[in-house]
Amino acid sequence: MDSFYENYEYWMKSRPDLEFDVYNISFDESKPARNEEAIKTADVVIIPSESEWRYQRPDLWEGKHIISFAGSYKGHRDKTNKQLDEIRPHFENKRIIFWRCERADTEELYRTKVFCDTPIKSFDIIDEIDFSGNINGMRYHHIPNLQKELNCDRTKTIDFAYWGSAWKDDRDKIIHGVYENKDFTTMLVGGWSYLKEDVNNQIKPWARDWRDLYPLLKPARSTCCFNWLDENATTSRYVEALAIGIIPFVWCSQNFQYDKNNTYNIDVWQRVGSVEELLWKMRFLQHPDFFKTKLREYRKNYRKVLLSKKQYSEEFNKKMDALT
């Protein structure tokens, strides 16, 4: 949600006519506090939604995700729901502005599972895909600064990288297919600890700080982006990959497309529908000149829809002003 938070800080400065408060979040160095009074007295409550479905819809992942994920989230879900029980009454007749980056975080989920049918005055959504190039296009502007700060080796030595969680669905089949092929090297960061490292494959725990994540990903040539629930949606991984210097492939099955309306200006060569097709295209990227040509081309394509940081801020301000 960092792109939302950054633009929100800009927006707050543009609205001296409004009074602001926070609950369990901080925009300075102070420790976040669960200040229930902030919700009680607010006319409008802004909710940055970060995978709330994981806590409220276990049917979507229990039995599918790896055990370590399920175990950690069950305990956290119980704790979170207990806290919700304490603050839920304060949302009655509130105007809600909902920032969304997850397809499964829906208005219905919040009304029925989070608020448990507590009457809400209004519920408005600002989605990451409401902005040209996705609001996370902000990361395309910020991530290259890490190269200047960290001075990482630019040599490409890893064929494929993936950063995120594992699921027992298409993405696992594809990633396992690359992992198991001894002709290629991988860097898997996140929920992949059940796989073993070997001479071709590196497995790393999740790195929340981009200063730790960037050096792990910089040597990679390619990744693959997967969509979920909504064919029209896009993901921040695509933007992050291009910003790092990684070719993002996108997964497209017979019945489901990534970015169906092609809002990212994705080239047809980037779309893959099988492990075999992905591996075949990855082999081309092992040729340095071909890789550099494709990276320049795909960055140029994306920059056609990318907004400047100022433009993202202006668009965000318009949306927030209209709702407040």
Work out the average pLDDT over 265-278. 97
Q: How confident is the model at residue 193 (pLDDT cuts 50, 70, 90)?
A: confident
- Alpha helical stretches, state H, the chain: 2-14, 36-41, 53-56, 67-87, 107-109, 137-142, 144-150, 170-179, 210-217, 236-244, 275-285, 288-303, 309-323
Work out the average pLDDT over 239-265. 95
Which of 19-33, 63-77, 222-236, 242-256 shows the lowest per-residue confidence on average (mean pLDDT)?
Answer: 63-77
Q: How many CB atoms lie within 10 A of CB 28?
A: 4
Of all residues in the chain, the percent with pLDDT exceeding 90 is: 70
Cβ–Cβ under 8 Å, residues 219 and 187: yes
Question: What tokens were used for 220?
Answer: 């990679």
How confident is the prediction for the chain on average, in pLDDT?
90
Q: What's the confidence (pLDDT) of residue 70?
A: 45
Which of 65-69, 113-117, 253-257 shows the lowest per-residue confidence on average (mean pLDDT)?
Answer: 65-69
C-alpha distances in Å from residue 62, one per residue of 45, 73, 219: 31, 10, 34
Q: What's the confidence (pLDDT) of residue 56?
A: 61
Rounded to 10 degrees, the C-alpha dihedral 144/145/148/152 comes to -50
Helix (DSSP H) and strand (DSSP E) numbers for the chain: 13, 9
* Distance in angstroms (rounded) separating the CA atoms of residues 275 and 231: 20
Work out the average pLDDT over 204-222. 95
At 133, phi and psi to the nearest 5?
A: 75, 10
Which of 77-86, 137-146, 294-303 shows the lowest per-residue confidence on average (mean pLDDT)?
Answer: 77-86
What amino acid occupies position 81?
N
| Whether residue 216 has pLDDT greater than 60 | yes
What amino acid occupies position 157?
T
* Distance in angstroms (rounded) separating the CA atoms of residues 125 and 106: 9
Domains of the chain: 2-131+309-323 (3.40.50), 137-303 (3.40.50.2000)
| Whether residue 43 has pLDDT greater than 80 | yes
Dump pLDDT digits (tens) for 151-183.
Answer: 999 999 999 999 987 666 678 889 999 999 999
Q: What's the confidence (pLDDT) of residue 68?
A: 42
Q: Which residue has the tokens 């599918």?
A: 64
Q: How many CB atoms lie within 10 A of CB 170?
A: 17
C-alpha distances in Å from residue 113, one per residue of 51, 121, 214: 13, 17, 36
Cβ–Cβ under 8 Å, residues 203 and 196: yes
DSSP state of 89: G
Angle, helices 2-14 vs 309-323, to 10°: value is: 70
Q: How confident is the model at residue 265 (pLDDT cuts 50, 70, 90)?
A: very high
E-strand stretches of 165-272: 186-190, 201-204, 220-225, 247-251, 271-272
* Distance in angstroms (rounded) separating the CA atoms of residues 215 and 289: 22
Cβ-based neighbours of 14, under 8 Å, separated by 6 or more: 317
